[in-house]
Amino acid sequence: MSLTIADIAVPINQNKTFHYTVPDELIPSIAVGARVLVPFGARRVTGTVVGFPGTAVKEGLKKVLEVLGDPLSPDLMKLAHWMSDYYLHPLGLSIETMVPRALGTAKVRTRRFLQLLEGDHDVNMIRGPKQSELLFLLCDRQAIPFEDLGAYSSATIKALVERGMAEIVEKAVEKIPEQTAFVPDQAPELMPEQVEAVRSISGTMTAGSFEVFLLHGVTGSGKTEVYLHCIAALAGTGKGAIVLVPEIALTPQLLGRFRKRFGGRVAVLHSGLTDRERADEYRRIRAGLVDVAIGARSAVFAPFPKLGLVVVDEEHENSYKQDDGLRYHARDVAVVRAKFQGAVCVLGSATPSLESYYNAKAGKYRYVRIANRVDHRPMPGVSIIDVRTQPKASVYAPALVAAVHQRLEKNEQSLLLLNRRGFSSVLICGDCGKAIQCPNCSVSLTFHKSERKLKCHYCDFHTAPPERCAVCGGVNVKPLGTGTQKVEEEAAALFPGARIARMDSDSTRGRDAHDRLLGRVDRGEVDILLGTQMIAKGHDFPAVTLVGAVDADVGLNLPDFRSAEKTFQLITQAAGRAGRGDAAGEVIIQTMNPGHYSLRHSMTHDYDGFYGEEIAYRTELGYPPVRRVVKIEVKSGQERTAADAAKVARDRVRFLLRGKETTLLGPAPSPISRVRGKYRFQMLLLSSKRETLRMLAVEARKAVEDTFKNRVQVIVDVDPVNLM
């Protein structure tokens, strides 16, 4: 009898799979996509079957130990192979990114039942009234939870089991949705532009064909209602829908709207859930108990057997790009997944990424525009304040202070945006000018006044502020720069009695912290909400009539070719939070660069004008979306080693570049050259041909690994978003 050989991908950082033999008793339950427990070295790991080769690569193969749960679907396996190939990441680790970690460890919740066995049961065999009573109850209910059997002794239950009339079984318990009482809300009447968007998208869904739509709707234009109507059109088709949001903070508000429309058949998937909760939701989706899955980046892997629609809301957001491990972009994975499953993908944004808009103009995506707000509410008026001409005593210009006072008098809400955490960006010695640096990273420590701590936002190092300068011994150590905590402190002094809340990653660390804070804003318990970019993303606050960008220049001068795009998106999105209710909105932008085109076009909500200037710059320099880019980064605890490794990668690329239309930039120290004790050098490869970039990246990585072995870490980032 010939052996059955399984080719298995295990979660290790090697671009290879491994052969195992399958014991006869496991053959009926094993298939491609099956999750299996296998010995690997001295440990046991969970792997995934990717095929069944006819012959083994060597003799003495180890055996598969166990088959774990349901296999990954062929569509998800196909997606895993694509991601591994496109992002140049080991297949085993790519699969692990897709599957909740607890799926193999968190057991399914079960309840014990006493269940009636089929057949004719002779009542004459029953002894005693209690046994008769329980048998008649079982005949009526078929199965009774053990917690409902308190009136019957264990002897009574045991008697029915021994007589072959009943059996004790364990059944999986489905997670009860947060909202058990479901009363569908009344869908609002759509505006003509919304109707046309729904018609175009749902028509393609009905046809069952793959298509990507770029839904370009101004802030407050009702894009979410378009999503809801399109998902409703899937009713009765047996197909599910995935809705991606860029931040966990957006999930509760959106989840509430979806559950009011679709009840408990809505699942949520994001990193804020416990391992067991994520595993439970994953199982519900896979079992067909869910119609819609909502969540952040990883929700793109929701295991719907049939998929009809994938929505990527705020598709321009950088948080859709994973910054470690498998460096996938959820927006691009969503497009590929929709393609593999014959579904429709909708990319929604008021400020589309240049890549998506470029694809739409090229005809690769279908373009749908919603140019007006719901009920034709006016866009907020925007004014720019040149802070160079303003008093230096406060982070707030007098005009912004006056505008906030007006809102307080009218019982309206204000949002104040500053995309920088902490109290100040640096603690500096006034005598020698030395800033206090992180010992692990090439950045200054951020001063958090409320905690009396200096923190590194890259490696989480923290320490108490020193009383003296470590360099010169001076005592004149003082904060410099502005963070959200300083903005909050000044606001409290300027607006006494105002109810002020801060929203950043420091103030929303606890479980459900986002939900609680946003609930306070919704209930009108907050007058002024200030924070980082988190407050600018997709929130719907009808009572907010003023948005103030305290420092619009924070990201404008970063060494990143996308800095202008990111600034335009952030300011435009923040401005879009104003005037979404009955009262008109106002936006005030404080800047030292009032003439910059990203801010100038933000004033008039002119995306097309901004795109025209930005794409001209990108075309001239050959940056995305005109060409593709791959970042190669090398890291080492020794600066010289990292530099030498970067040169090896460069030399290999230069040797292979001959005759290829590709640009090599670098290598050079990364803008933040040291993080967590590792020195970092990086280079960029730009080309219009993906296969050329792929070949060069693979060869550069191999050259470094062959030369330096484990002394250097090489990271290949395809389509990078973070260049810092």
Written in H, E and C, the secondary structure of 45-96 is EEEEEEECCCCCCCCCCCECCEEECCCCCHHHHHHHHHHHHHCCCCHHHHHH
Residues 117 and 153 in one domain: yes
CATH at residue 124: 1.10.10
> Can you give the C-alpha Rg of the chain in angstroms?
29
Helix (H, G, I), strand (E, B) or coil at 98: helix
Over residues 487-510, the pLDDT tens digits come to 888 889 999 999 998 887 666 666
Give me the count of residues in the chain: 724
Question: In this model, does residue 183 exceed pLDDT 80?
Answer: no
Last residue of a domain, one of 49, 78, 104: 104
Confidence (pLDDT) at 108: 58
Residues 225 and 315 in one domain: yes
Confidence (pLDDT) at 165: 83
Confidence (pLDDT) at 635: 96
Residues 138 and 80 in one domain: no
Residues 221 and 129 in one domain: no
Structure token pair of residue 89: 């990441």
CATH at residue 74: 3.40.1440.60
Residues 117 and 99 in one domain: no
Q: Is residue 42 part of a domain?
A: yes
Residues 576 and 690 in one domain: no
Structure token pair of residue 239: 């197909």
Residues 152 and 257 in one domain: no
| pLDDT band for position 654 (cuts 50, 70, 90) | very high
Last residue of a domain, one of 51, 72, 104: 104
Mean pLDDT of 442-452: 83
Amino acid in position 376: H
Q: Is residue 177 part of a domain?
A: no
Confidence (pLDDT) at 460: 87
CA 237 – CA 314 distance, rounded (Å): 27
Question: In this model, does residue 558 exceed pLDDT 60?
Answer: yes
| pLDDT band for position 26 (cuts 50, 70, 90) | very high
Within 8 A by CB and 6+ apart from 54, the residues are 5
Residues 606 and 520 in one domain: yes
CATH at residue 508: 3.40.50.300
Q: Is residue 474 part of a domain?
A: no
CA 316 – CA 331 distance, rounded (Å): 9
Confidence (pLDDT) at 175: 52
| pLDDT band for position 176 (cuts 50, 70, 90) | very low
Confidence (pLDDT) at 552: 86
User: Which bin fits 202, alpha (ψ -120 to 50), beta or left (φ > 0)?
Assistant: alpha
Mean pLDDT of 208-225: 94
Domain that holds residue 391: 377-420+482-618
| pLDDT band for position 177 (cuts 50, 70, 90) | very low
Confidence (pLDDT) at 199: 97
Q: Is residue 265 part of a domain?
A: yes
Confidence (pLDDT) at 724: 82
Tally of structural domains, the chain? 5
Mean pLDDT of 269-281: 81
Question: In this model, does residue 527 exceed pLDDT 70?
Answer: yes
Query: Is 541 within 8 Å of 413 (Cβ atoms)?
Result: yes
Q: Is residue 431 part of a domain?
A: no
Confidence (pLDDT) at 584: 85
Q: Is residue 606 part of a domain?
A: yes
Q: Is residue 148 part of a domain?
A: yes
| pLDDT band for position 180 (cuts 50, 70, 90) | very low
CA 575 – CA 547 distance, rounded (Å): 6
Q: Is residue 521 part of a domain?
A: yes
Confidence (pLDDT) at 251: 67
CA 207 – CA 277 distance, rounded (Å): 35
Over residues 386-410, the pLDDT tens digits come to 988 988 878 899 999 999 999 999 9
CA angle (446 as vertex; 444, 449 as ends), nearest 5:
150
Q: Which residue has the higher pLDDT, 53 or 724?
A: 53
| pLDDT band for position 661 (cuts 50, 70, 90) | confident
Q: Across all residues in the chain, what is the average pLDDT?
A: 88
Other C-beta atoms lying within 10 Å of the C-beta of residue 16: 11
Residues 312 and 367 in one domain: yes
Question: In this model, does residue 544 exceed pLDDT 80?
Answer: yes
Over residues 296-329, the pLDDT tens digits come to 999 999 999 999 999 999 999 999 999 999 999 9
Residues 388 and 505 in one domain: yes
Residues 530 and 614 in one domain: yes
Confidence (pLDDT) at 360: 98
Question: In this model, does residue 248 exceed pLDDT 90?
Answer: no
Mean pLDDT of 405-426: 82
Last residue of a domain, one of 592, 618, 644: 618
CA 418 – CA 552 distance, rounded (Å): 8
Over residues 259-274, the pLDDT tens digits come to 889 888 899 988 777 7
Question: In this model, does residue 148 exceed pLDDT 60?
Answer: yes
Residue 221: which of 111, 321, 369 has the closest Cα? 369
Residues 525 and 669 in one domain: no
Structure token pair of residue 396: 């707030």
CATH at residue 698: 3.30.70.360
- Label each residue of 625-678 as H, E or C: CCCEEEEEEEEECCHHHHHHHHHHHHHHHHHHCCCCCEEEEEEEEEEEEEECCE
| pLDDT band for position 608 (cuts 50, 70, 90) | very high
Over residues 428-437, the pLDDT tens digits come to 888 888 888 8
Residue 117: which of 158, 168, 172, 152 has the closest Cα? 168
Q: Which residue has the higher pLDDT, 579 or 411?
A: 411
Confidence (pLDDT) at 104: 60
CA 119 – CA 635 distance, rounded (Å): 70
pTM to 2 decimals?
0.86
Query: Which neighbouring-strand residues pair with 372?
Result: none
| pLDDT band for position 128 (cuts 50, 70, 90) | confident
